[in-house]
């Protein structure tokens, strides 16, 4: 499946488009492939995000290599499925950093695995690019070679909390997560933020995502007077059971939370289509419809994917776009800086307004979180079309 980057990104900023022309330069003396270690969760209970990101990553690497690679050197993407298991992610790190001698690491793509793997990658002094949100993953003193191409948990939670409290004007909130590193970190971060906005958190709990019966939890939320449910998990089964239970109870409260609420995997597990009504998930302005239209770069990308007969039934546009952006960001760094770790970091410390399909990225030596607040929004999940959604009511165009 080939995607021509010039076609996909017609009209995008020159900084991104120039990458393709640079990749086609004559081969340099060294022709060995450049190794990138890649740690997606392609299987296991938290694989929804990884499957989507992987689709974009693989397509981008294929496109880069077809265009000549990086100054004549192909990218060798060394993929190790973490299986949604932090232990497996940790075991893969030594293989990628010490034995394979990867020049960069992409991922892990789930926060639970990333929390376990990041200190080890930092120990081995390999530059890494994070798609995960948990705030603790970025610390320029502890992890000076780690950069984030996505928002932080604080940004994501701030967007959701703003929507519940300031847009929907609801004050009594139930916050629930699964027991993964991502789920617990998210809930523990967002509850104080809600309280600081004047909300009353009437219920909060971390629940095993494999629990087949969530009705007792929702009854507790209802009894406490919750006006909105805010779930934090990337597990489509867990989220669908929340929505199905709410529907079976006839409890007409909005559900506002994690992006997997709107995934094709979650949709496939719904007992009734209407269980997706009044559900709003985190999303990103560059990948949302506003007045029926996607932004130009995203629209061009979707049309090209359609021509290649790539389906979005089981994934989301922003997941695929994030994988694509991550691969091209790493290629850009390797093209401009070479493969020495200190040179890669020096280059990435100067990235400014890099215009991806998923988001705009800026880093400095002091700040390795690069995603802008204004691009974090909420969307209506029952408006899903081509992997993207309508921006939720209440935002200006």
pLDDT over 70 percentage in the chain: 92
What tokens were used for 340?
């020495």
Alpha-carbon distance of 113 to 137, in angstroms, equals 11
Residue 173 has pLDDT above 90, yes or no: yes
Closest-CA residue to 232 (of 288, 283, 172, 185)? 185
Q: What is the pLDDT of residues 231-273, one digit of tens each?
A: 999 899 999 999 999 999 999 999 999 989 998 889 999 999 9
Q: Which residue has the higher pLDDT, 46 or 120?
A: 120
Residue 25 has pLDDT above 60, yes or no: no
Q: Which residue has the higher pLDDT, 30 or 32?
A: 32
Residues with Cβ < 8 Å from 371, sequence gap 6 or more? 148, 149, 150, 151, 152, 155, 359, 360, 361
pLDDT of residue 26: 44
Alpha-carbon distance of 77 to 75, in angstroms, equals 6
Residue 208 has pLDDT above 50, yes or no: yes
- Provide the H-helix boundaries in the chain: 5-8, 14-23, 48-66, 86-94, 111-123, 153-162, 181-196, 215-223, 236-249, 264-268, 296-307, 317-337, 341-348
Q: Are 151 and 324 in contact (CB under 8 A)?
A: no
pLDDT over 90 percentage in the chain: 82
Q: What is the pLDDT of residues 312-327, one digit of tens each?
A: 777 889 999 999 999 9
Residue 24 has pLDDT above 90, yes or no: no
Domain 5-153+295-375 has CATH 3.40.50.2300: yes
Lowest mean pLDDT among 11-20, 119-128, 139-148, 369-378: 11-20
CATH topology of domain 154-290+377-391: Rossmann fold (3.40.50)
Split at pLDDT 50, 70, 90, the class of 48 is confident
**Cα-Cα end-to-end distance for the chain:** 34
Beta strand 376-385 with 288-289: parallel, antiparallel or unpaired? unpaired
Split at pLDDT 50, 70, 90, the class of 396 is low
Split at pLDDT 50, 70, 90, the class of 366 is very high
Which residue is associated with the tokens 């995000």? Answer: 49
Evaluate whether 5-153+295-375 and 154-290+377-391 have a shared fold: yes
Residue 42 has pLDDT above 90, yes or no: yes
Closest-CA residue to 230 (of 177, 277, 269, 178)? 177
pLDDT of residue 12: 37
pLDDT of residue 7: 37
Alpha-carbon distance of 51 to 48, in angstroms, equals 5
Split at pLDDT 50, 70, 90, the class of 397 is low
Phi-psi map region of 242: left, alpha, beta (phi>0 left; psi -120 to 50 alpha): alpha
* Mean pLDDT, rounded, for 92-97: 95
* Domain ranges within the chain, ordered by starting residue: 5-153+295-375, 154-290+377-391
Q: Are 189 and 157 in contact (CB under 8 A)?
A: yes
DSSP letter for each residue of 329-368: HHHHHHHHH-S-HHHHHHHHTT--SEE-SS-EE--BTTB-
Q: How buried is residue 210: exposed, middle or buried, by Cβ count under 10 Å (0-12/13-18/19+)? A: exposed
Q: Which residue has the higher pLDDT, 21 or 332?
A: 332
pLDDT of residue 16: 39
Alpha-carbon distance of 258 to 236, in angstroms, equals 10
Q: Which residue has the higher pLDDT, 155 or 19?
A: 155
Which residue is associated with the tokens 């009511």? Answer: 393
Alpha-carbon distance of 280 to 210, in angstroms, equals 23
Residue 223 has pLDDT above 50, yes or no: yes
What tokens were used for 272?
């009734």
Split at pLDDT 50, 70, 90, the class of 388 is very high
Alpha-carbon distance of 224 to 174, in angstroms, equals 9
pLDDT of residue 20: 40
Residue 26 per-residue DSSP state: P
Which run of H or E residues covers position 106? strand 104-106
pLDDT of residue 315: 83
pLDDT of residue 314: 79
What tokens were used for 230?
């805010």
pLDDT of residue 66: 95
Q: Which residue has the higher pLDDT, 308 or 88?
A: 88
Backbone φ and ψ of 206, nearest 5°: -105, 120
Task: Please give the distance of CA 245 from its chain centroid, rounded to a whole number.
Answer: 27
Alpha-carbon distance of 214 to 359, in angstroms, equals 35
Residue 73 has pLDDT above 60, yes or no: yes
Alpha-carbon distance of 229 to 256, in angstroms, equals 6
């Amino acid at each position: 499946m080939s995607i021509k980057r010039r076609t996909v990104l017609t009209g995008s900023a020159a900084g991104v488009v120039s990458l393709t022309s640079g990749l086609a330069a004559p081969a340099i003396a060294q022709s060995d492939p450049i190794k990138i270690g890649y740690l997606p969760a392609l299987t296991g209970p938290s694989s929804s995000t990884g499957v989507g990101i992987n689709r974009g990553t693989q397509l981008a690497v294929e496109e880069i290599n077809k265009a000549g690679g990086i100054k004549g050197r192909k990218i060798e993407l060394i993929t190790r499925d973490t299986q949604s298991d932090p232990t497996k992610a940790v075991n893969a790190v030594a293989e990628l950093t010490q034995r394979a001698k990867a020049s960069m690491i992409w991922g892990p793509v789930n926060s639970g695995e990333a929390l376990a793997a990041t200190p080890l990658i930092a120990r081995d002094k390999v530059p890494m690019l994070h798609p995960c949100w948990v705030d603790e993953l970025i610390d320029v003193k502890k992890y000076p070679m780690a950069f984030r191409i996505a928002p932080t948990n604080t940004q994501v939670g701030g967007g959701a909390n703003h929507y519940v409290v300031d847009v929907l004007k609801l004050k009594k909130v139930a916050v629930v997560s699964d027991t993964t590193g991502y789920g617990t970190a998210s809930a523990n971060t967002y509850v104080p933020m809600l309280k600081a906005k004047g909300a009353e958190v009437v219920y909060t709990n971390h629940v095993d995502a494999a629990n087949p019966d969530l009705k007792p939890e929702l009854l507790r939320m209802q009894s406490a007077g919750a006006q909105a449910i805010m779930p934090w998990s990337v597990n489509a089964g867990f989220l669908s059971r929340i929505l199905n239970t709410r529907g079976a109870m006839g409890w007409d409260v909005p559900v506002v939370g994690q992006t997997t609420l709107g995934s094709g995997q979650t949709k496939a597990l719904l007992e009734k289509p209407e269980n997706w009504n009044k559900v709003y998930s985190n999303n990103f302005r560059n990948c949302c419809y506003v007045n029926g239209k996607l932004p130009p770069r995203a629209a061009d990308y979707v049309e090209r994917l359609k021509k290649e007969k790539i389906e979005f039934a089981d994934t989301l546009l922003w997941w695929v776009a994030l994988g694509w952006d991550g691969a091209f960001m790493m290629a850009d760094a390797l093209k401009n800086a070479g493969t020495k770790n200190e040179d890669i970091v020096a280059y990435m410390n100067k990235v400014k307004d890099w215009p991806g399909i998923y988001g705009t990225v800026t880093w400095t030596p002091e700040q390795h979180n690069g995603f802008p607040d204004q691009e974090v929004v909420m969307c209506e999940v029952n408006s899903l079309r081509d992997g993207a959604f309508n921006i939720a009511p209440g935002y200006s165009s």
